[in-house]
Structure 1
């Protein structure tokens, strides 16, 4: 499926319906991306007011999720789409769920930011939080861009990047465990940072899921649970488009 095929339907209303779903996914993605940025900033800078703003925006993200689900259900019921159109709606529905869960993870980080602002900062972990936060947010932005442009190559790059985030997460967790062993006074606060790191790692997973849906949308191939080494063997970039 290409961007040109996406707009080639006899019914102009059908075209408009599909474009509306896609634009709402991207709008929700933009809001969720800001939630992640703000949550990380709130934690690193001890900004409880910014953290509270992230938490207050969760209802808006949840409302967007419900709206997109309703749109997809209505289109499937009225249009009975087949082939690539149905894949678009399935991919949108699954990406919608992942975006809502990213919002949930940002909300968790914001709550940890408030706790840390009340309990006091710790000497370790903030550099790792900022670094991994930037990394997963870049993954999310690239996954959404791939969704907007039907870009399989970029989607594959996001899938591959998730492994790097996992390595960075494990390294940061080892650092914090060592730090807690050396200075038990900071255990409670270090645990809050560790939970935040875990939330960021999960955001990377959800960004990967969105990228996988782009590949399914364009190529009609489900690459979930496939090892990274097998991606090159499936001709995902250079072969013809999916049906």
Structure 2
């Protein structure tokens, strides 16, 4: 399925958009690679008490912001000059929305890095690092898989990213309950544990943004707007359309 979808979009790109949209797509994937590395570095800075790396992540947020602006400007020019229609327009819209989500992932990585820097200076939190490592690893995989699905126009992989987001939400809620209980039992470390809670919240938000990017893949490939829709309902829409049309009429 992915290869067929890719062939369809490549046909449109080569015949109508030529280098324009391909160049924007390349910029988008470059930005995605930088943002993915930002998240990884922010988590590493926290877990390894690396203040210099935390500062580097914060500084790189400026680069991400500039890339977002450049992509937006390029997409505006494409809309003005090319007047895309149908699947071509879907791709422009999808890149535009996913571009915003990438920038916001960069913002969350910078937040994590700022808190990591604070904890480097004030002393590590006595609890929550194990949860941060675990959820952080899951979120990094989510970003990578969402970008890969975007590059390959793979709706099935996008669905798996959305399912992973539901898993992260559950683990975030569980970790939050655990840390809240710890703070009530030992109030001496409240401020530092609260910092870890903010980090976990940022990681959960990163997962949400990765899910949003996956939603745009489904929009590009299937023409379905699946925002604010449960994983189960999306799966039924996609697989129902392709496999169960006969059953629905019987």
Q: Return the TM-score normalized by structure 2.
A: 0.92
Secondary structure of the 2:117 match is helix
Q: Which runs of 5+ in 2 are unaligned?
A: 244-250
Count of equivalent residues? 240
Select between 96-105 and 228-237 the one with higher mean Cα deviation: 228-237
Compute the displacement of 1:239 (Å). Answer: 2.6
Deviation at 1:117?
0.8
Matches within 5 A, 1:131-146: 131-146=134-149
236 and 90 in structure 1: CA distance in 2 versus 1, 3 angstrom threshold: farther
The unaligned stretches of length 5 or more in structure 1 are: none
After superposition, the Cα gap between the structure-2 partners of 1:236 and 1:15, relative to the gap in structure 1 and judged at 3 Å, is farther
- Aligned residue for 2:242, secondary structure, equals coil
**Of residues 117, 120, 128 in structure 2, which corresponds to 1:117?**
120
Which portions of structure 1, spanning 4 or more consecutive aligned residues, are displaced by more than 4 angstroms?
9-13
The reply to whether residue 51 of structure 1 matches residue 54 of structure 2 is yes
**Aligned-residue offset at 1:12:** 5.7
Secondary structure at the aligned position of 2:18 is classed as: helix
Q: Does 1:234 align with 2:237?
A: yes
Q: Spell out, residue by residue over 1:56-100, the C-alpha distance to the aligned partner (whole angstroms, 9 max, x if none).
A: 101100000000000100001000000000000000000000000
RMSD over aligned CA atoms reads 1.7
| Corresponding residue for residue 212 of structure 2 | 209
- The whole-number CA distance in structure 1 between the counterparts of 2:204 and 2:12 is 40
Structure that is richer in helix per residue: 2
Q: Report which stretch shifted further, 213-222 or 115-124.
A: 115-124
Residues of 2 paired with 1:178 and 1:90: CA distance? 44
TM-score, reference length from structure 1: 0.95
The residue aligned with 2:45 is 42
